[in-house]
Amino acid sequence: MAGWYEETFRDSMRFSVRVHATLHRERTDFQTIEVLQTPFFGRTLVLDGLFMTSERDEYFYHEMISHPSLCMASSPKRVLVIGGGDGGTVREVLRHPEVEQVTMVEIDRRVVEVCKEHLPDIGTAWNDPRLEVRFEDGVAFVAEAPPASFDVVLLDGSDPVGPAEGLFDKTFYSNVRRVLSPSGVFGLQSESPILMEEVFRQVQHTLAEVFGSVRPYFGTVPLYGASTWSWTVAAAEPFPMDMDRLKRLEPDLRYLNVDVARGMFAVPTDLRRLLSRD
């Protein structure tokens, strides 16, 4: 179907992308998966009507969700990725030579299969021998995993509706903390602080009930309408990023670099005031 595909925010704003063709569309047990051919973003993944990632802009999101946590954990050998069915996040994780084992837990097998077929340039690390992909519910997986079994947990989930709903509550965060090693780090996408400031605020507050250090950081995702986006790192205590690790990866990255990493934790005054509200 050619035309415009649109995502509406708060019934007040709309971001539309021109589409040349729908390459794939199916309803799975969990959600509707679509792959669109678009002139600006290239092939674009849409889940339940929400833009997820695209060939053109995927590096913004995937570099930002992964490297900060990987550079903070003192020894990021064992990494758990929840969600991330397009494969972009595990691709970035596996750039780190310290990583020995990545477990990716994606609830919907069809997302991975569709992305392997239609978005092969995003998931370029599926064959890395360090990667194990499991098609399970991430909430249950974390509830049952042994204590201290991971050094980094990344939550690469969609918005807190549909299959990702259970990934935004205190029980889940508490289980994440339990499965992390003492110097482990939890990294997650935490929504647009502009379009969804209440969700952003709630995520920060709930994380702070569980983790000793919670730090949001900010960057760009052009596909996400109001392209200023947030991610958050949470840990038992504040760990600095090992900038030497990031520096070594810089030639392979397209957005994140040491300068950006030093600046991205700055919280604008309006969001400071939002977060200081009870």
Strands 150-156 and 180-189: parallel
> Does the active-site annotation cover 156?
yes
User: What is the length of the chain?
Assistant: 278
**Binding test (CB under 8 A) with a copy of itself, winner from 34, 35, 38, 55:** 38
Distance of CA 278 to the CA centre of its chain: 26
Q: Which is nearer to a copy of itself, 179 or 271 (CB)?
A: 271
**What tokens does 217 get?**
């950081």
Please report whether residue 160 would count as binding a copy of itself according to CB under 8 A: no
Contacting a copy of itself within 120-139 (CB under 8 A): none
Q: 53: number of CA atoms within 13 Å, CB side?
A: 24
Which residue from 172, 201, 205 is spatially nearest to 82, judged by alpha carbons?
Answer: 172
Under the binding rule (CB under 8 A), the answer on residue 262 touching a copy of itself is: yes
266 forms part of the interface with a copy of itself (CB under 8 A):
yes
Contact 214, 69 (CB under 8 A): no
**One residue of 29, 269, 276, 278 binding a copy of itself per CB under 8 A:** 269
Assess 265 for contact with a copy of itself (CB under 8 A): yes
Q: What is the DSSP letter of 253?
A: -
Radius of gyration of the chain (CA): 18
Query: Interface with a copy of itself includes 227 (CB under 8 A)?
Result: yes
Site for a copy of itself in 57-86 (CB under 8 A): 59
Would you name the residues annotated as active-site residues? 156
Interface ranges with a copy of itself (CB under 8 A): 4, 6, 10-18, 38-40, 59, 194, 220, 222, 225-228, 250, 253-257, 259-260, 262-270, 272-273
